[in-house]
Structure 1
């Protein structure tokens, strides 16, 4: 018997009896000094009720690709524990009750749905534009503007409905234009000098002996050609 004695007025002692339930009422006993001992049932009462985990919740997992499998995190049941303890007034036998409640909420079952955003990038090559320049010799090129590639970036994001787990996707495209490469191409006319070789012409000389020859030195000729590039 786990009993706490509290001395009351002469003749009657009201004491706690923590071994019996409150509904069992009181018991009497005699003390060595002739007093009457009233044993009041004060066994603490503990009642625990389970709170079942029945809710399923879906969450977006941005660390995994859509091709991967969902991960389930099991929920846990909760509980409510009500503890009733009793105190006895040693003089009157009046019982007071104290109630404490310990509560732990149930946790949801969580299904982590893979929903990592996807980014696709497509290169847009730059074009080259040629401009005629009469100050540059034919065949020469001079780059005026550096060409830069552009790109189209498409981002696909996913949303997950917390109740149904349904996945919807949103697409956003952003385009960065390419920069055209500009090149000046020489079109300055080019003068070409072409030599005309000396030709030998034989003429009759009636005043000369039969085997005699007189030479007049010829000169190399020139032909000027003007070449232009269209």
Structure 2
């Protein structure tokens, strides 16, 4: 019989870990949502398949991505921005499934940010070797809302720095079902993901899926 849909490795870890002022890790927080989450994501990805975006500098991102919600985050040679239309299909992005809205709002509330109502969910797919360089989430007009980031599949090393690019980031291992939330004083902290290590997840295979929820305006 298959393992639990969102099996969390290392249950001895603290269920809540503060990593900075306004930033917490919620270990295994996804479990109550597990039965609805994967089917909902599959529907979204069928409507708006993963693609590799091109940065304004002309580089192809190693992470494949898609979006759901009233707007989606896109990148091309003209810059980074939020857009209500999927440039690949010419259609609006898929509606954000209710289970994703509930999960993001509950995680934000648990981290001390009540009333979080995300407008965009960025869905990133990492395969071994893929990474995300240190960056700030600053394309939003509303910095008062937190960022909620959910990890699924293969474990990853989350890099969490400070307000300056040169600040040395701390490294945190994120397992399947873990959630990171940061806002307030740490809302604009630099963060990223180290190159994904080889592995095979019992449910999602040779990949990591990351869901990042944002309030845009």
TM category (shorter chain) comes to under 0.3
TM-score, structure 1 as length reference: 0.17
Higher helix share goes to which structure? 2
Structure with larger RCO (C-alpha < 8 A, sep 6+): 2
Larger Rg: 1
Higher strand share: 1
